[in-house]
Structure 1
Amino acid sequence: MTATIGIVGSGAVGRALAAHIAASGQDVLLCNSRGRETLEPLVEELGPRVTALETSAVAAADLVVFAIPWPAVVPLLEELPPWHGRILVDATAPASHFRMPSRYELGGLTSSEVVQASAAGARVVKTFCTLPAAVLALPPATEAGRRVMFLSGDDQDARVVVGALVDEIGYAAIDLGSLATGSLLQQPGGSLAGRELWTSAEVVAE
């Protein structure tokens, strides 16, 4: 994948994804709400493929992962300029625990549909959100097989691009279809939230 990849958020999820993407040989732009200087120790730890920039620069990447607390998502999206067809990967969760029903009233929408409505011109794909951060930080693949990573989105081409990224960093991508259907399964309270599933090495080889 040759697109520029940005990750908004340097918490446990953002760190894990930055590490996996960098390990796959791709460059990552990283930011947080506290300023790029606070990321210097993390950037040094993750290696030369990770660069800390201000949020506006990271959010201008070809593919941008949002890995920030839910209350900050919509306010930040409302501050950003139109996306003009760029891909926004929604790795956020509208609750503090995978098995806990959402604490936030979303008007009957999935959290990713709210993200889509708040990100003008973005092609939103939901993924990287079903595994606890501690599991997400582990190697995506072992000799026994690969961890499954689900994704969903309303734009098929965007799902293909994100699915390729998921595969490149070592996970086994499973496409769940639209945001309304697939994201409901992935978000807190959904049947896939918090579930660690694997594909066997034999399946991967085929």
Structure 2
Amino acid sequence: MAATIGIVGSGAVGRALAAHVVASGQDVVLCNSRGPATLESLVQELGPRVSALETSEVAAADLVVLAIPWPVVIPLLEQLPPWHGRILVDATAPASRLRLPESRDFGSLTSSEVVQASAAGARVVKSFCTLSAAVLALPPVTTTGRRVMFLSGDDADARTEVGALIDGIGYASVDLGGLATGSALQQPGGPLAGLDLRLERCASVE
């Protein structure tokens, strides 16, 4: 598992994920479009395991979560250097509400396949996108079990690493397989979008 998690985006989704990662004992580097100085209060709030850097520095982490509004996703990715096999977790949702069908036309591609095509050399994994930001901010572990977090991607090793991250911060990872099919299930309008599911606790056997 990556020692430091990079999160591109400091909105509600980025903040929620940063808080969960820090709570699991890992370090986080954050960025936004306005520069590190604007994140000072958030860094103080989240604690010493979090630091704010420039976008190019955050995007250089071994595992990076993309948590920014869809309109700026492709322009940003096209500005960044090649990924050289590093993992890019696509947490974006190209619609205003998760349960509504996408209003954008990607042709035969899913939105994550568009991300893959725009992030040269990245191993893209789709995840952290089926829950609303408000639910994502809640504890991953509840009295009835762990919240389910789906993932999909074309690289099996990348899925394994992202699955370990998901499990490590308290969620129950569910691997949906390849990017095309799995992302279609997760993206806005898909059957899994907006569903807050639990993996129930099993009673101990004596």
Q: TM-score, normalised by structure 2?
A: 0.97
| Counterpart for residue 121 of structure 1 | 121
Whole-angstrom CA distance in 2 between matches of 1:17 and 1:203:
29
Question: Residues 77 and 119 of structure 1 are in contact (CA less than 8 Å); yes or no, is this contact kept in structure 2?
Answer: yes
Partner in structure 1 of residue 16 of structure 2: 16
- Structure 2 distance, partners of 1:204, 1:193, is 32
Distance 1:184 1:203 in 2: 34
Please, what TM-score do these two structures have when normalized by structure 1? 0.97
Q: What corresponds to 1:86 in structure 2?
A: 86
1:62 aligns with 2:71: no
Equivalenced residues, count: 205
Cα offset for 1:93? 0.6
Partner of 2:100: 100
CA contact (8 A) 1:94 1:188 kept: yes
**Is the counterpart of residue 138 in structure 1 residue 157 in structure 2?**
no
* Deviation, structure 1 residue 203: 7.7
What is the letter of the counterpart of residue 117 of structure 1? A
Identify the residue that residue 161 of structure 2 maps to in structure 1: 161
| 1:103 CA drift (Å) | 1.8
Please give the secondary structure, in 1, of the residue aligned with 2:134: helix
Q: Secondary structure at the match of 1:126?
A: strand
* Native 8 Å contact 1:145 1:204 kept in 2: no
In structure 2, the residue matched to 1:184 is 184
Q: What is the letter of the counterpart of residue 11 of structure 1?
A: G
SS of 1:99's equivalent in the other structure is coil
Residue aligned with 2:105, SS:
coil
Give 1:109's aligned residue: 109
Unaligned runs of 5+ in 2: none
RMSD of aligned alpha carbons: 1.3
Q: Deviations over 1:24-65 (max 9, x none)?
A: 000000000011111000110011111000000000000000
CA shift in 2, pair 1:68/1:98, >3 Å: same
Q: Is the CA contact 2:8–2:55 (under 8 Å) kept in the aligned structure 1?
A: yes
Pairwise CA distance, 1:105:
1.2
CA shift in 2, pair 1:58/1:203, >3 Å: farther
Kindly report structure 1 stretches of 4+ aligned residues shifted beyond 2 Å.
Answer: 1-4
Q: Name the amino acid aligned to 2:152.
A: S
